[in-house]
Amino acid sequence: MRPNSQELKRKSSHDTEREFGGTLGAIGIPIFLPLTVLFLISTSRSPEASVLQWPPSLPSTDQLWDPLALVVLLCWIALHALLYLTPLGKVSEGLVLRDGTRLKYPINGFHGLCITGVLLMFLVGLGAPLGYLFELLLPLAVCAIAVSFLFSVYLYIRSFLAPSHALALGGNTGNPLYDFFIGRELNPRIGNFDLKYFCELRPGLIGWVVINLGMLMKEVELRGSPSLAMILVNSFQLLYVADALWNEEAVLTTMDIVHDGFGFMLVFGDLAWVPFTYSLQASFLVVHPQAISSFRAAIIIALNGLETIATATGKRLLVSGWWGLVRHPNYLGDLLMALAWSLPCGKTDFTGRG
């Protein structure tokens, strides 16, 4: 017997292939990754700075909470929500949705970065202790993790008010744990404010740059001036973030926006994982200063600036030519940049020995 439309709809939404280990991953990842963030921050500032040291470097409970951290985090998110709503830059349309509509998105992330930079320079000029971000880093990470969980609960609950065509195909399996993790609603919005698009490049990515700056200012407090290693890390990563925001419109065709629902996986990645793990090099350098020569710095700069193979962009998967041969040449660029970001931190093995 030929299945009717309701049966086909049920099959397409509930029988989709589950990613990240399915239910087991949906339980384990939200536990393991937040603990990993806190562990890596603690390890990066420990004397040994080794992920294999035993007993591991674990923070005390009083190091995990500071009410100021929650205030800073909420004010930071509110600031960028306000900048998101500022009528600067152009407005672009996303790809066509299943119901035939196209959502509109403000392309003003780079403006937000610039305004943030001006505000930070103003605060530094007033003598604001940005270096205190070093002491607040663990409490900020804890607050970001907590906000990620609470925000994800809100997103999961509100998804049941969304029409079926607004749900992500991979996040409507009927398994609450998996759907909470992967995300049920594709483009959750409050009015015209797109929650997923806002979180994708705004508070976390720009927050990463601000944390780096705080680590640089902490080094200035401790040693009188920033080291060349710290300057390189800040410069490389600022360039990376600025480039992402300058090309913000490109995110509208990415898997995150087009395919993935907005659940804990993306929320945690945007608000906690990116700002607090991508800033580990700067955090490490505060406690473990590195002296690098101009020659070595020149090599690292050259490595960071290497270009990858140029390819034409499109909506189809390229399986032939250079792309088919290399598979993912864009990953090579990211790997080279990540290596350049880490080389200023010196050569250390997993046991913490230089």
Q: pLDDT by residue (tens digit) across 296-311?
A: 889 888 888 766 444 4
In a domain, 13, yes or no: no
Residues 69 and 186 in one domain: yes
Residues 234 and 130 in one domain: yes
Residues 121 and 259 in one domain: yes
In a domain, 66, yes or no: yes
pLDDT at 319 over 70: no
Residues 138 and 233 in one domain: yes
Chain-centre distance for alpha carbon 321:
32
Give the residue with greater pLDDT, 282 vs 11: 282
In a domain, 105, yes or no: yes
Average pLDDT rounded to a whole number, residues 31-45: 93
What pLDDT shows up at residue 341? 78
Quote the tokens at residue 168. 């992500």
Chain-centre distance for alpha carbon 213:
17
Residues 119 and 161 in one domain: yes
What pLDDT shows up at residue 114? 96
Residues 208 and 302 in one domain: no
pLDDT at 17 over 90: no
Residue 183 and residue 71: Cα distance in Å, rounded?
Answer: 27
Residues 111 and 217 in one domain: yes
> With the C-alpha atoms ordered 159, 199, 191, 99, is the resulting torsion angle positive or negative?
negative
Domain that holds residue 307: 292-345
What pLDDT shows up at residue 53? 79
Residues 258 and 129 in one domain: yes
What pLDDT shows up at residue 330? 60
pTM, rounded to two decimals = 0.86
pLDDT at 334 over 90: no
Going by pLDDT thresholds of 50, 70 and 90, the confidence category of residue 312 is very low
Residues 151 and 66 in one domain: yes
Tracing tokens 């483009």 back to the chain, one arrives at 187
Q: Tens digits of per-residue pLDDT, 89-140?
A: 999 999 998 888 999 999 999 999 999 999 999 999 999 999 999 999 999 9
